[in-house]
Amino acid sequence: MAGASTASIPCVTLNTAHAIPVLGFGTGSSSTPSDLSSIIVDAVRLGYRHIDTAALYGTEGAVGAAVADAVRAGAVASRGDLFVTSKLWINDAHPDRVVPALKESLFRLGLDYLDLFLVHWPVSATTDEGKRTLVAFDMEGVWRGMEECQRLGLARSIGVSNFSSAKMSRLLSIAAVPPAVNQVELNVGWRQEKVREVCAENGVVVTAFSPLGAFGAAWGSNAVMESGVLQDVAARRGKTVAQVALRWLHEQGVCFVARSFNRERLKQNMELFDWELSEDDKAMIMQIPQRRACHGEFFVSPDGPYKSEEELWDGDI
């Protein structure tokens, strides 16, 4: 990726030899601004190079327009300077739907390829006359479709999202092409140590969504941004709470996708890479209580394949 030399945001090399920027711009929101494309272009001008979207978010069109506008405006030299991620939604998580779904995402984005394509959840659904039914997730069949996306050059790297440590282990045992990334809820209030251990042992990069707790989202939590521990560390270090939370992730070797539509906060979120947390800071952060915010309860049903959150997360709760 040509953008790997971006001065402000370091990159990590994936198992495909492609480089992913440590910090990404997230576009998943319950209230997407009408000027999202121009905000993304502003973020690119600031130095952001990774843009994260998904079929579910309804933002692929805006992301595609922003990519074209950023190139046209000279914010980057070419599309190759940007790293674009999108995700396969559960309605398309069927072996015969994976490649067509990616082609549909590429059409909405106006792009020839994705840098990273993720299975959004280990969940499949069918829809009949507007009624959604959760059905068994064919992990091997869906992953073969993902591998075909990479073989065809439609996605340079492939991965998953919301996979538990047990599901990661199972996928790794059947994959011809191993996943490059597992994107999961991860922050100081939900450290995901079991998932991170499995991924680290197998060369899979972990990317955090909701690195600041998704404050204000319907399912989000204020545990990060209102943490007294983080407020104390931030005050002592002359940093914002968000900067401390994101710096902690960076020091754990985790990439992260942060969502902000405010230019000043976008800039602050980049100011992470020229300072370090002290041992005392890290010891304090390790005392923060742990609680999952995104439970996935909408995928749990007495009639579906996951009858409890315990089954969905395989005990990672």
- The partner residues of 182 in beta bridges, in order of sequence, read 160, 206
Whether 216 has a pLDDT exceeding 70, the answer reads: no
Backbone angles phi, psi at 118, to 5 degrees: -115, 145
State the pLDDT at residue 218: 52
Structural contact between residues 316 and 195, judged by C-beta atoms closer than 8 angstroms = yes
pLDDT digits (tens, 9 = 90+) for 80-97: 999 999 999 999 999 999
State the pLDDT at residue 6: 43
> CA 121 to CA 77: how far, in whole Å?
34
Q: Is 94 annotated to bind ligand?
A: no
Q: Give all domains of the chain, ordered by start, each with its CATH number.
A: 2-313 (3.20.20.100)
Number of neighbouring beta carbons within 10 Å of residue 39: 20
Mean pLDDT of 114-125: 98
Structural contact between residues 270 and 299, judged by C-beta atoms closer than 8 angstroms = no
Beta strands 50-52 and 23-26 are: parallel
State the pLDDT at residue 1: 45
- Reply yes or no on whether 57 is catalytic: yes
> CA 48 to CA 67: how far, in whole Å?
12
Angle at 5 between CA 77 and CA 155, to 5 degrees: 70
pLDDT digits (tens, 9 = 90+) for 179-214: 999 999 999 999 999 999 999 999 999 999 999 997
Q: Exactly one of 48, 57, 113, 306 is catalytic; name it.
A: 57
Q: How many residues does the chain have?
A: 317
> CA 159 to CA 178: how far, in whole Å?
8
Sign of CA dihedral 284, 286, 290, 294: positive
State the pLDDT at residue 2: 40
> CA 98 to CA 114: how far, in whole Å?
14
Helix (H, G, I), strand (E, B) or coil at 254: coil
Whether 158 has a pLDDT exceeding 50, the answer reads: yes
* Assigned token pair, 152: 């065809």
> CA 103 to CA 94: how far, in whole Å?
15
Output the CA torsion 240→222→298→163 (10° steps).
40
Query: Where do the DSSP E strands lie in the chain?
Result: 11-13, 19-21, 23-26, 50-52, 83-88, 114-119, 124-128, 131-135, 155-161, 181-185, 205-209, 255-258
CA atoms within 13 A on the CB side of 47: 17
The residue whose two tokens read 């939590």 is 221
* Assigned token pair, 110: 């106006």
Q: Which amino acid is at 172?
A: L
Q: How many angstroms from the chain centroid is the CA of residue 10?
A: 17
State the pLDDT at residue 106: 99
Backbone angles phi, psi at 180, to 5 degrees: -85, -30
State the pLDDT at residue 215: 54
